[in-house]
């Protein structure tokens, strides 16, 4: 524990700054104190869709892809050297491109040193999260160039929007992680915006977060800023930041990606290895094939970390997208990728790796019925798959192109409900509640039964956003659509937001690092 962490005021789970920030919940509405935790520990089993026989076929399919077609590596001779040394069958295609084929089982063997679970540390230790096992961590959506709200419509994201979303995330007890590029801060030069994003996560949140991956030097900057925050020795021994890397599907790993992966792994930091598989475009249009390809690509990308530093945390990942065959557009929240997510959960558990999977996906352009219907189709599978890290848990609209303020609030409320869902179903003498029925017998209501009085405060999820009043009350109060309530709510939360305390010397050191980095290079906008 370094000085920053000591400087942060310790906070009990239910007390301190958080309850002050959530004063509007102190009246009871939507508080659900019994469900608040730094991350979810699942009390429900995963939903296992496929039989052992089918899973073996998919695994064999992935092995066949790696053995017969192989992965193309670009612009990173060091990554190629590492895989060649580990036994990969390398064919040089051009001065800067190589194809590597892998014997069946070779990649799985390399992955044996990767941890099944690990802790990502937050600057507030009360917010440390477990990644893997029966833990589920919710993080905001990631990577949209646009933002939306009901007042101003759709527009390019700015650093102010970015900071607003960090604050909204920090204010929600139903997210556990600050995420990464919540929206693109397009008003900051491309080569400098990672500095402002990392700083915003540190300054306005005291939860764990993702670092930059858009260039190897930006990955290094992300890790260096964590060294300022946590201390270099602590960072070397603990995971404090994670990079979210994409393969270039189908079956390509480009040099910016592999160099970034090597940087995180060398520093002992975590990495997510995500094939973005749009079926019919960059993967087979049938889901079994997409899942086999996802497993193949993600395994190889994960394996690179273990060649750099055995034991470095690596997260298998899945982002399965269907396509409208009429327009060629991606479609989100459809049933086939939801089934694919469940299968990826089974495959990750067999591989003994943590999984990132799905999220509150939608193609809708408004936080309307379509948005929430598609989101739920996607998100229910995410949690039922046993996914450990669910990026895109809040804000996702417009096929990932826009981050919506109202959708963010609707989604975090769903995340809260999922805390109750994943808590599971306890069966014991007390929950069977025989005495509740016996007290009054047939025909007697139980409003005042002793059993009811013992349990009513934690019996049911109490949404802070849904309107569950009778029609007459709702109508008298204006008859609002849920997106209108969400619009009011995000403004209330931003007004009530207070930044978590940050040690002044650390803050100054971070600002100094950023100022020196920014001064060292011209602005670049591409």
| Contacts of a second copy in 155-194 (CB under 8 A) | 181, 184
Write the DSSP assignment of 257-278 as a string of letters: HHHHHHHHHHTT-EEEEE-EEE
Positions of E strands within 335-382: 355-357
What contacts 482, CB < 8 A, 6 or more positions away? 367, 410, 465, 466, 467
Among 2, 41, 117, 238, binds a second copy (CB under 8 A): 2
Total chain residues near a second copy (CB under 8 A): 169
Site pattern 391..420 for a second copy (x: CB under 8 A): -------xxxxx-------x---x--xx-x
Among 118, 165, 319, 513, binds a second copy (CB under 8 A): 319
In this structure, what token pair is assigned to residue 325? 């065959």
Least Å distance between CB 96 and a second copy?
13
Does the footprint of a second copy cover residue 272 (CB under 8 A)?
Answer: no
Range 133-152, binding a second copy (CB under 8 A)? 142-146
What contacts 157, CB < 8 A, 6 or more positions away? 144, 145, 146, 147, 183, 184, 185, 186, 403
In contact, 480 and 489? CB cutoff 8 Å: no
Least Å distance between CB 123 and a second copy?
24
Region of 79-87, 163-171, 458-466, 488-496 interacting with a second copy (CB under 8 A): 458-466
Region of 119-127, 187-195, 222-230, 450-458 interacting with a second copy (CB under 8 A): 450-458
Among 130, 205, 283, 393, binds a second copy (CB under 8 A): 283
Which phi and psi angles does 383 have, rounded to 5°? -75, -35
- Report the C-alpha gap between 191 and 518 in whole angstroms: 9
Distances from the Cα of 120 to the Cαs of 123, 129, 131, 174, 389, in angstroms? 10, 5, 7, 18, 11
Range 44-63, binding a second copy (CB under 8 A)? 44-45, 47-50, 54, 57-58, 61
Does the footprint of a second copy cover residue 280 (CB under 8 A)?
Answer: yes
Range 321-360, binding a second copy (CB under 8 A)? 321-332, 334-336, 338-340, 342-343
Does the footprint of a second copy cover residue 289 (CB under 8 A)?
Answer: yes
Range 211-250, binding a second copy (CB under 8 A)? 213-214, 244-246, 248-250
Q: What does the angle CA 343 – CA 347 – CA 348 come to, to the nearest 5 degrees?
A: 115
Least Å distance between CB 53 and a second copy?
8
426 upstream amide cis, omega within 30 of 0: no
In this structure, what token pair is assigned to residue 277? 């598989």
In this structure, what token pair is assigned to residue 401? 């192109």
Residue number, 282 or 351, with CB nearest to a second copy: 282
Containing 421, the helix (H) or strand (E) segment is helix 405-423
Least Å distance between CB 505 and a second copy?
33
Least Å distance between CB 432 and a second copy?
4
Among 106, 282, 307, 358, binds a second copy (CB under 8 A): 282
- Burial label for 477, CB within 10 Å (0-12, 13-18, 19+), is exposed
Among 171, 293, 298, 506, binds a second copy (CB under 8 A): 293
Least Å distance between CB 492 and a second copy?
18
What contacts 338, CB < 8 A, 6 or more positions away? 358, 377, 378, 380, 381
Does the footprint of a second copy cover residue 481 (CB under 8 A)?
Answer: yes
Among 38, 39, 42, 65, binds a second copy (CB under 8 A): 65
Does the footprint of a second copy cover residue 89 (CB under 8 A)?
Answer: no
Residue number, 130 or 363, with CB nearest to a second copy: 363
In contact, 183 and 165? CB cutoff 8 Å: yes
Residue number, 20 or 505, with CB nearest to a second copy: 20
């Amino acid at each position: 524990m370094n000085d920053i962490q000591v400087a942060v005021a310790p906070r009990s789970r239910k007390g301190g700054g958080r309850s002050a920030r959530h004063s509007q919940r102190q009246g009871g509405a939507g508080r659900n104190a019994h469900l608040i935790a730094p991350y979810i520990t699942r009390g429900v089993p995963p939903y296992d869709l496929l039989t052992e026989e089918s899973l073996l076929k998919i695994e064999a399919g992935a092995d066949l892809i790696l053995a017969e077609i192989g992965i193309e590596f670009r612009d990173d001779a060091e990554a190629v050297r590492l895989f060649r040394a580990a036994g990969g069958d390398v064919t040089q295609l051009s001065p800067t491109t190589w194809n590597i084929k892998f014997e069946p089982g070779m990649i799985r063997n390399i992955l044996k040193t990767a941890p099944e679970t690990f802790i990502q540390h937050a600057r507030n230790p009360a917010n440390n999260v477990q990644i893997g096992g029966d833990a589920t961590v919710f993080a905001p959506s990631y990577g949209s160039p646009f933002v939306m709200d009901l007042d101003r419509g759709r527009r390019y994201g700015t650093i102010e929007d970015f900071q607003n979303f960090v604050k909204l995330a920090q204010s929600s007890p139903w997210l556990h992680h600050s995420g990464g590029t919540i929206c693109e801060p397009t008003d900051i030069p491309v080569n400098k915006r990672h500095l402002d994003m990392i700083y915003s996560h540190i300054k306005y949140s005291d939860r764990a977060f993702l670092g930059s991956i858009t260039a190897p030097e930006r990955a290094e900057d992300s890790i260096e800023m964590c060294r300022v925050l946590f201390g270099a020795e602590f960072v070397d021994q603990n995971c404090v930041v994670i990079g979210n890397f994409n393969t270039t599907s189908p079956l390509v790993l480009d040099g910016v990606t592999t160099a970034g992966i090597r940087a995180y792994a060398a520093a002992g930091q975590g990495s997510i290895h995500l094939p973005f598989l749009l079926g019919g475009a960059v993967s087979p249009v049938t889901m079994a094939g997409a899942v086999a390809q996802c497993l193949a690509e993600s395994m190889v990308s994960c394996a690179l970390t273990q060649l750099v530093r055995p034991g470095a945390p690596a997260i298998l990942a899945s982002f399965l997208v269907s396509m409208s065959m009429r327009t060629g557009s991606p479609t989100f929240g459809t049933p086939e990728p939801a089934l694919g997510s469940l299968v990826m959960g089974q495959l990750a558990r067999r591989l003994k790796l943590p999984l990132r999977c799905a999220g509150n996906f939608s193609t809708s352009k408004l936080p309307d019925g379509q948005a929430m219907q598609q989101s739920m189709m996607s998100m229910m599978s995410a949690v039922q798959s046993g996914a450990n890290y669910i990026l895109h848990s809040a804000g996702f609209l417009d096929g990932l192109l826009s981050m919506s303020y109202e959708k963010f609030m609707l989604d975090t409320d769903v995340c809260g409900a999922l805390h109750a869902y994943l808590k599971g179903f306890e069966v014991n003498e007390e929950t069977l509640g025989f005495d509740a029925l016996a007290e009054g017998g047939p025909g007697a209501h139980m409003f005042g039964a002793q059993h009811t009085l013992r349990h009513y405060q934690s019996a049911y999820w109490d949404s802070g956003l849904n309107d569950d009043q009778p029609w007459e009350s709702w109508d008298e109060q204006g008859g609002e659509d849920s997106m209108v309530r969400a619009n009011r709510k995000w403004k209330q939360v931003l007004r009530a937001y207070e930044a978590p305390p940050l040690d002044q010397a650390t803050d100054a050191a971070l600002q100094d690092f950023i100022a020196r980095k920014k001064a060292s290079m011209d602005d670049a906008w591409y």
